Amino acid sequence: YMNITSLDQMIHDTVAKYLKKQLIVAGNWKMNMTVQEGMNFLEKIGNTDANVIIFPPYTTLALLAGEMRKRGIHYGPQNFHFLDKGAYTGEISIPMIRELGCGFLLAGHSERRQYYNETDDILQKKVVKGVSSGFQVVLCIGENLEERKSGKWRNRLAEQMILDLKDLGHHELDSVLIAYEPVWAIGTGVSASIEEIEETHCFLKAFMRKIFGRELPILYGGSVNENNALKIGACSVVDGFLIGGASLDPDKFLKIIEISKRV
Ligand code: PEP
């Protein structure tokens, strides 16, 4: 007879073989984490071979880029301009970001759309600039509560995808990841339900097949934490997470990283 431990191992290996997908774990630090706080955080995270991306604020990004690289963590800014330089006070450009060895760019977060008037028109320019400069762009899209309740969410998401990804070639689409973030679930502590996430990601994937002839990876964002990540990540249409609040706590973030490796 086979002992229980080896049977257990065999089941584990078989399941792992069929279900293995390494989820992407992206953390958006927003306007949090000084350099010192970021350093303490990274020391707790240690080295990782998971798919981890962190979007720190600029000062922390600049000073901790090397520390993140050393640990196997991918990184990038939370925003960027579509021009290389000029009289745009307070903005940051692609050449500045390139200097830091960033691989990823975050674009179109709902807070930027809402508080800084980032329109689909501006975002389209940013996405083209980002991918043509060799970066992976994480483009955030999402509907508001009214659009969710009235059933108009499909139209809103379709509109964002069409406008923001306009004029991208097939090859350029290789560098785009979508983060589906329902605005009503961001920072509220209440994520969308599994059914809502599945339905929405399925809709997005079908829509992409129709307009681009292919699917792009989709991260889910909106109150993901160490307790709901396993269930959300287990959905076959979820390719990873974009995490705000829980990405600020190294213990919670580490738990989510662990989950990302064994879903
Ligand atoms: C976000 O802002 O991208 C986000 C998902 O935030 P939170 O996880 O805090 O809801």
Per-residue pLDDT tens digits for 178-226: 999 999 999 999 999 999 999 999 999 999 999 999 999 999 999 999 9
pLDDT at 149 over 70: yes
Residue 148 has, within 13 A of its CA and on its CB side, a CA count of: 15
Return the pLDDT at 183. Answer: 96
- Torsion, Cα 39 43 48 50, to 10 degrees, reads -60
Q: Token digits for 124?
A: 């389209």
Residue 84 has pLDDT above 80, yes or no: yes
- Going from the C-alpha of 29 to that of each of 119, 171, 184, 187, 262, the distances in angstroms are 22, 30, 19, 12, 24
Which residue, judged by its Cα, is nearest atom 2 of ligand 1? 244
Predicted TM-score of the model (pTM): 0.92
CA 187 – ligand 1 centroid, Å: 5
Give the position, in ligand 1's atom list, of the atom nearest the Cα of 186: 10
Ligand 1 geometric centre to CA of 253 (Å): 13
Residue 244 C-alpha to ligand 1 middle, in angstroms? 4
pLDDT at 52 over 80: yes
pLDDT digits (tens, 9 = 90+) for 1-45: 556 666 666 655 555 545 557 999 999 999 999 999 999 999 999
Burial of 194 (0-12, 13-18, 19+ CB in 10 A): middle
Q: How many CA atoms does the CB half-sphere of 213 hold within 13 Å?
A: 4
**What are the backbone angles phi and psi of residue 231, rounded to the nearest 5°?**
-65, -45
Cα of 85 from ligand 1 centre, angstroms: 30
| Contacts of residue 168, Cβ cutoff 8 Å, sequence gap at least 6 | 127, 128, 131, 176
Q: How far is the CA of 186 from the centre of ligand 1 (A)?
A: 5
User: Coil, strand, or helix at residue 108?
Assistant: coil
Q: How far apart (Å, rounded) are the C-alpha atoms in residues 257 and 77? A: 20
E strand or H helix at 74, and its extent?
A: strand 74-75
Is 109 one of the annotated active-site residues of the chain?
yes
Residue 85 has pLDDT above 90, yes or no: yes
Catalytic-role residue among 111, 118, 181, 226: 181
How far is it, in rounded angstroms, from Cα 240 to Cα 221? 9
How many other C-beta atoms are found inside a 10 Å radius of the C-beta of residue 179?
27
Sign of CA dihedral 24, 43, 229, 241: negative
Going by CA atoms, what residue is nearest to atom 6 of ligand 1?
Answer: 244
What are 77's two structure tokens?
A: 């800014």
Which candidate in 67, 109, 118, 201 is catalytic? 109
Residue the block writes with tokens 């400069």: 133
Ligand 1 atom at minimal distance to the Cα of residue 109: 3
Burial of 196 (0-12, 13-18, 19+ CB in 10 A): middle
Ligand 1 site: residues with CB under 6 angstroms?
28, 181, 186-187, 221-224, 242-246
Distance of alpha carbon 80 from alpha carbon 98, whole angstroms: 11
Tokens representing 252 are 């919670």
Average pLDDT over residues 86-95: 98
d(Cα 42, Cα 36) in Å, to the nearest integer? 10
Residues above pLDDT 90, as percent of the chain: 90
Answer yes or no: 171 catalytic.
no
